[in-house]
């Protein structure tokens, strides 16, 4: 059996990266449903599965470095994509496009992860915030925002919108 070419190893890397990302997406969906239904045991299982997949994603970084440093790596550049594009071969350009697609998918997943974390963070404190609001307490607010004194510097960093809604 012959050894796979560098391009074949890069294609395999892209496929595995996409699979890990898809797994993370599915876990985020489960976590979102668990959050909606307030099922803490499901959330804990989802968080453990998510941690394992994030670790797999981190392990892929080492593999990318190995591919970049490989003796049989094609082209020149500091990324897999730039190396592939520099060869000016159509098959390499297609593979570079595949890497771009996977990169965009990972970015969307990252944004979903952050949004879910922010929502869970606020839901975790919802009971305390409701009690504070109903009792008229003047306790601290999310991100240190002062009640009744909108701070425009908070807007854009995430806290202002949630504080105004509260």
Query: What's the number of domains the chain is made of?
Result: 1
Task: Return the pLDDT at 156.
Answer: 45
Q: Which residues, given as ranges, of the chain have pLDDT below 50?
A: 147, 152-158, 161, 166
Chain segment 74-100, per-residue pLDDT in tens:
989 999 999 999 999 999 999 999 999
Is residue 58, in this structure, part of any structural domain at all?
Answer: yes
Is residue 23, in this structure, part of any structural domain at all?
Answer: yes
Task: Return the pLDDT at 154.
Answer: 43
Is residue 148, in this structure, part of any structural domain at all?
Answer: no
Is residue 166, in this structure, part of any structural domain at all?
Answer: no
Task: Return the pLDDT at 155.
Answer: 43
Task: Return the pLDDT at 64.
Answer: 94
Q: Are 94 and 101 in contact (CB under 8 A)?
A: no
Is residue 85, in this structure, part of any structural domain at all?
Answer: yes
Task: Return the pLDDT at 51.
Answer: 85
> What Rg value do the Cα atoms of the chain yield, rounded?
22
Tell me the whole-structure pTM to 2 decimals. Answer: 0.67
Closest listed residue to residue 69, CA positions, set 5, 4, 3, 6: 6
Q: Per the structure block, which two tokens stand in for 56?
A: 């797999």
Chain segment 43-57, per-residue pLDDT in tens:
677 778 888 998 998
- In Å, how far are 116, 120, 129, 133, 159 from 126, measured between CA atoms? 15, 10, 5, 10, 15
Helix, strand, coil abundance in the chain, percent, nearest 5:
75, 0, 25
Closest listed residue to residue 106, CA positions, set 41, 61, 142: 61
Task: Return the pLDDT at 47.
Answer: 77
Is residue 13, in this structure, part of any structural domain at all?
Answer: yes
């Amino acid at each position: 059996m012959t050894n796979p070419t560098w391009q074949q190893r890069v294609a395999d890397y892209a496929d595995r990266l996409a699979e890990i990302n898809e797994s993370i997406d599915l876990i985020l969906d489960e976590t979102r449903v668990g959050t909606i239904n307030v099922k803490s045991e499901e959330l804990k299982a989802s968080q453990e599965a998510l941690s394992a997949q994030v670790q797999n994603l981190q392990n892929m970084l080492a593999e990318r470095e190995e591919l970049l440093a490989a003796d049989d790596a094609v082209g020149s550049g500091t990324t897999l994509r730039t190396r592939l594009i520099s060869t000016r071969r159509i098959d390499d350009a297609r593979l570079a496009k595949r890497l771009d697609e996977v990169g965009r998918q990972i970015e969307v997943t990252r944004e979903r992860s952050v949004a879910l974390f922010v929502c869970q963070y606020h839901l975790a404190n919802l009971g305390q915030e409701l009690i504070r609001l109903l009792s008229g307490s003047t306790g601290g607010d999310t991100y240190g925002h002062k009640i009744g004194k909108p701070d425009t510097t908070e807007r854009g960093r995430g806290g202002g919108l949630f504080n105004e809604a509260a």
